Amino acid sequence: MRGSMRIRSRIAIRCAKITAAVIRKLNRGSGVTLPGYVARKIDPKILSVMSEMVREKIIVTTGTNGKTTTNSILAHVLKAEGKKVVFNRTGSNMQNGIISTFVLETDKKGRLDADYACIEVDENASVGVFPQLKPDGILLTNLSRDQLDRFGEVDITRGKIKKAVLSVPEAKFILNCDDVLSYSLAQECKNPVVTYGINEQIFDDISRSEIRESIFCRACGKKLEYEFFHYGQLGIYHCQNCGFSHPTPDYAASKIEYSNETYSFEIDGIFIDSGAGSPYNVYNTLSAYAALGAINAPHKRFKEAVESFDYRNNRESVFQISGARVQLHLAKNPIGFQQKISLLLKDPSPKDVVIQINDAVQDGTDISWLWDVDFQYLADSNVASITTAGTRRYDMGLRLKYEDIESGVTEELEETVKTLAESGTGNLYIIVNYTGLYRTNHMLSVLADA
């Protein structure tokens, strides 16, 4: 297959490229999903064909939070090492989007020029994708509740990831041992396991919250004892009944400090002064380092590459509009939103806040997760005004009302942003879930340029 590609595969790639070109010409979207669908319909084995063209190794990243950032760090470091890397930079992580990532990177002859592939994979898609990609490394970031209408309860997601990992038993399994749900998979899968974790407490009280997916031993069912929580069920744990406990991680971040809105830390004796403004990104950076080490990928320039990496990844952006500082943040599940509330409290200045909640398929049509977020902390965040927007703006307003937090509502987000930028506190935070991100980012970019 490496020597001469099948005719069917060539046709599939060609048709996918034509599809992408038509989409761009008609300005009908980004063209990151339909080309993959077309290619797969013509050649159902196209993803396997593409994966065999990768000269060295393939790393897949899955889990609830941090997939896109972690995958981008992996690609960024490998490129800094002089490697040619294919990765789904747009975050399109379902099977069709992943196929598009590969086929749209091929040359005129349908050949892929890549040393490594760094592929973000949706948890639900992992069962179908892993056996085709046959990755060298599987990086699991964490497991928590997300989009109940798509994923169901977290044990369902855990079961799918377990099935996916078992389908590729030779792959190194790199997992977060601070997360008991993730680490317990090490006992159930036959793959060689590499762990990473943080042994010191760095998350504040607001970040930690009371959202726990599971604090029971996966071996015997008894309640775990925790030395401390990072957030959710992540922390240092042990079971007094059967002895199951948090291991000493193979890779750990230490000497973690927060100063000037960014974190610095050490990994493997390497001091990293990152541009990361969220403690989440300490985990993301650590997991990327662990994954590269686990599969013996080059990472001598890790410090240099990470310190030049833009952690915002279009999910945390800052704009200057009419003299105001405007920040855009993505929050698409309870744990993620809790981190954004913690961020607000770290800023003592007066501020205006806009929260946009949509319920499109990509967001999850079930927004009951809003009731798992500890919004009461907003009352102590020196907020001058809160405005809700999006298709579920009234649901968001009701959730705040139950915490005795006043809010307004808007159907015209752009006009609201203009007004707050011109006559508000000069410090505006906009928090959106998935479908609001790219459209709002574009709108803010236009306003900033104006």
pLDDT value, residue 164: 97
Which tens digit of pLDDT belongs to each residue from 268-282? 999 999 877 778 899
- pLDDT confidence of 187, banded at 50, 70, 90? confident
Reported as a pLDDT band with limits 50, 70 and 90, residue 216 is confident
**Whether the predicted pLDDT of 247 surpasses 70:** yes
Answer yes or no: do 303 and 321 share one domain. no
- Least confident interval from 9-18, 323-332, 337-346: 337-346
Residues 91 and 180 in one domain: yes
Cα 47 to Cα 55: distance, rounded to the nearest angstrom: 15
Is the residue at 18 inside a domain?
Answer: yes
pTM of the full structure: 0.82
Strands 172-176 and 225-231: unpaired
Query: Residue 135 has what pLDDT?
Result: 98
Q: Are residues 219 and 237 in the same domain?
A: yes
What is the reported pLDDT for 73?
96
Instruction: Determine, yes or no, domain membership for 1.
Output: no
Q: Does residue 349 share a domain with residue 300?
A: no
For 262, residues 6+ apart whose C-beta sits below 8 A from its C-beta are 273, 274, 275, 276, 277
**Euclidean distance between CA atoms 26 and 9, whole angstroms:** 26
Least confident of 67-81, 110-124, 191-205: 191-205
Q: Mean pLDDT lowest for which of 24-28, 39-43, 52-56?
A: 24-28
pLDDT of residue 450: 85
Tell me the percentage of the chain whose pLDDT exceeds 70: 94
H/E stretch holding 415: helix 413-423
pLDDT for res 314: 61
Query: Is residue 269 domain-shared with residue 356, that is, in the same domain?
Result: no
Kindly tell me if the per-residue pLDDT of 267 is higher than 60.
yes
Q: Which domain holds residue 270?
A: 7-307
Better-scored residue on pLDDT, 349 or 361: 349
The answer, yes or no, to whether residue 2 has pLDDT greater than 60, is: no
Residue 17 lies in a domain: yes
Give the residue, 327 or 317, on which the prediction is more confident. Answer: 327
Residue 167 lies in a domain: yes
Does one domain contain both 81 and 207? yes
Q: Which of 235, 250, 234 is nearest to 290 (CA)?
A: 250
Last residue of a domain, one of 307, 342, 377: 307
Task: Give, as one character, the DSSP assignment of residue 209.
Answer: -
In a domain, 273, yes or no: yes
Do 198 and 55 belong to one domain?
yes
pLDDT tens for each residue of 291-303: 999 999 999 999 9
Can you give the C-alpha Rg of the chain in angstroms?
22
Give the residue-averaged pLDDT of 434-448: 90
User: Which among 227, 321, 320, 309 is positioned nearest to 274, based on CA atoms?
Assistant: 309
- Look at residue 313 in the predicted model and tell me its pLDDT: 65
Q: Are residues 15 and 111 in the same domain?
A: yes
Mean pLDDT lowest among 88-92, 154-158, 184-188, 232-236: 88-92
Coil, strand or helix at 63: coil
152: pLDDT strictly greater than 60: no
User: Does residue 366 fall inside a structural domain?
Assistant: yes
Is 161 found in the same domain as 49?
A: yes
Of the candidates 277, 307, 337, which is a domain's last residue?
Answer: 307
Question: What element of type H or E holds 101?
Answer: helix 95-103
What one-character-per-residue DSSP string does 315-349 give? TEEEEEETTEEEEEEE--SHHHHHHHHHHHHH--S
Domain boundary among 307, 335, 350: 307
DSSP states along 121-155: --TTTHHHHHHHH--SEEEE-------HHHH-SHH
Q: How many other C-beta atoms can be found within 10 angstroms of the C-beta atom of residue 227? A: 11
> 80 or 211, which is more confident?
80
- What average pLDDT does the structure give for the chain? 90
Q: Is pLDDT at 26 greater than 80 in this prediction?
A: yes
Average pLDDT over residues 91-118: 93
For residue 85, which phi and psi values (nearest 5 degrees)? -125, 135
Res 148 pLDDT > 50 = no
- Give the sign of the dihedral formed by CA 395, CA 401, CA 405, CA 408: positive
Determine, yes or no, domain membership for 270: yes
Residues 321 and 294 in one domain: no
C-beta separation of 60 from 66 below 8 A: no
pLDDT of residue 149: 41
Note the pLDDT of residue 28.
Answer: 66
Residue 109: CATH number of its domain: 3.40.1190.10
The reply to whether 185 and 235 lie within a common domain is: yes
Report the pLDDT value the prediction gives residue 209, as an integer from 0 to 100: 61
- Region 413-439 average pLDDT: 94
Tell me, what's the pLDDT at 280? Answer: 84
Q: How many residues does the chain have?
A: 450
Q: Does residue 2 form part of some domain?
A: no
Q: What is the pLDDT of residue 245?
A: 94
Instruction: Provide the CATH number for the domain around residue 398.
Output: 3.90.190.20
Distance CA 230, CA 212 (A): 11
> pLDDT at residue 211 above 80?
no
At 219-246, the pLDDT tens digits run 899 999 999 988 878 999 999 999 999 9
Phi and psi (nearest 5°) for 155? -65, -30
Question: What does the pLDDT read at residue 1?
Answer: 42
Same domain for 327 and 431, yes or no, is yes
What's the number of domains the chain is made of? 2
